[in-house]
Amino acid sequence: MKIGQGLIGTVLIVLGPLFFAACGNAPAPGGVVPPEGASALQETLHLRIRAATPARVLYASRGEGEIYYGYHLPGPDPFCQSQLVKYTTTIRISTDKAGNVWVPTAVTGGTGYFAAFAPNCGAQVEKLSAPENADPLDIVFGHHGAAYGLMVYFVETRHGSRSNNSVSLYLAGATIPSGQLTDPALNNTREPADGVGIDSHGDVYVICCLQIKASRFAIKFNGRSGSQSRGKKIVLQDLTSPESLTFDSADNMIVSDLADASLNVYAPPYTGAPTIYPLQGASLQCALSSDETLLACADPGAGTIDLYSYPSLTYQYSLYASGYPSITLAGVAFAPGK
Give the pLDDT of residue 107.
77
Instruction: For the beta carbon of residue 150, count every other beta carbon within 10 angstroms.
Output: 28
Q: Which residues, other chains included, contact 151 with Cβ-Cβ below 8 Å and sequence gap of 6+?
A: 130, 131, 134, 135, 136, 137, 165, 166, 167, 168
- Count the domains in the chain: 1
CATH of the domain at 321: 2.120.10.30
* CA gyration radius, the chain: 19
| pLDDT tens figures, 238-286 | 998 899 999 999 999 999 998 899 999 999 999 999 999 999 999 999 9
Using alpha carbons, select from 327, 303, 3 the residue that is nearest to residue 138.
3
CA dihedral sign, ordered 115, 118, 123, 126: negative
Residue 134 · residue 111 · CB < 8 Å: yes
Please, what's the b/e burial string for 243-252 (b: 16 or more CB within 10 A of its CB; e: otherwise)?
bbbbbbeeeb
| pLDDT tens figures, 28-55 | 333 444 444 444 444 443 444 344 455 7
| pLDDT tens figures, 163-203 | 899 999 999 999 999 999 999 999 988 888 889 999 999 99
Q: Which runs of E-coded beta strand occur in 2-56?
A: none
- Domain hosting 157: range is 3-334
